[in-house]
Amino acid sequence: MNENRRPIIIGVTGGSGSGKTTVSKAIYDNLNGQSIQIITQDTYYNDQADMTMAERKAVNYDHPLAFDSDLLYEQLNQLRHNQAVNMPVYNYEEYTRSTETVRVEPQDVIILEGILILDDERLRSLMDIKVYVDTDDDIRIIRRIQRDIQERGRSLDSVINQYLATVKPMYHQFVEPTKRYADLIVPEGGENRVAIDLLSTKVRDILVKRGHTNLG
């Protein structure tokens, strides 16, 4: 493979509800016309088909061991070498991986988004740009409540209990410390247009240097 033509990989991380998805989509929109793919770390939660529902609900989903990081690294590396992959699909209502997969073709730009993507040294080694979205705790819990109830079929009590039991302590133990690996720290997430515009400009610059064309 021509190393100069390999995809650019952007890692976007931060606590749950920090605005990672908003930042990722804003970069996506800014690079309109470019071939681009957003991949979420949540897709790579472990396959728990052999566990009971009670066991699945008891899993700490904010711990590094909740993710199949080996598969994520393997598939991200394949995409980096311009090879297509069959990406897993996670079923939030069943708390386990679906039997379906999604075919993902190589793109010029890959945005990897997730709470613990900078925790794994192997994943960090594949990234060209590492971004940490930094948002106050109270804003993040409000966003998480809204998202999990509206999009993931959870009850208010379950969201609050999970936040207090695992999300908050795991954030301070595992997520926040990875801020030191970031090339760019973005306060206020998707509201920070200056940071998003700077990121998009940097991505275009790297793409041009690697010989990519059709830049929007």
Over residues 104-129, the pLDDT tens digits come to 999 999 999 999 999 999 999 999 99
Cα–Cα distance, 49 to 197 (Å, whole number) = 42
Query: What domains can be seen in the chain, in order of their start residue?
Result: 3-209 (3.40.50.300)
- pLDDT at position 171 is 95
Query: Which of 45, 13, 10 minimizes the C-alpha distance to 134?
Result: 13
Helix axes 20-30, 193-209, angle to 10 degrees: 50
Over residues 164-200, the pLDDT tens digits come to 988 899 999 999 999 999 999 999 777 888 999 999 9
Identify each DSSP E strand in the chain by its residue range: 8-14, 36-40, 85-91, 96-104, 109-113, 129-134, 184-187
- Name the pLDDT band for 84 (thresholds 50, 70, 90): very high
Q: Are 208 and 6 in contact (CB under 8 A)?
A: no
**Which positions make up the binding site for ATP?**
14-21
- pLDDT at position 188 is 78
Please check the confidence at residue 64 and state whether its pLDDT lies above 50: yes
- pLDDT at position 16 is 87
Greater pLDDT, 32 or 88: 88
Eight-state DSSP code of residue 129: E
Greater pLDDT, 92 or 73: 73
Q: Are 98 and 91 in contact (CB under 8 A)?
A: yes
Please check the confidence at residue 130 and state whether its pLDDT lies above 90: yes
What the block records as the tokens of 194 is 């200056």
DSSP-assigned states of every residue in 172-189: IIIIGGGGGG-SEEEETG
Which are the contacts of 105, defined by CB distance < 8 A and separation ≥ 6? 84
Q: Are 61 and 45 in contact (CB under 8 A)?
A: yes
Please check the confidence at residue 4 and state whether its pLDDT lies above 70: no
Query: Which pTM was predicted?
Result: 0.89
Please check the confidence at residue 100 and state whether its pLDDT lies above 50: yes
Over residues 21-32, the pLDDT tens digits come to 999 999 999 887
Q: What is the mean pLDDT of the chain?
A: 91
- pLDDT at position 1 is 46
Which are the contacts of 47, defined by CB distance < 8 A and separation ≥ 6? 68, 88, 96, 97
Please check the confidence at residue 76 and state whether its pLDDT lies above 90: yes
**Which positions make up the binding site?**
14-21
- Name the pLDDT band for 209 (thresholds 50, 70, 90): confident
The pLDDT of 159-163, averaged and rounded, is: 90
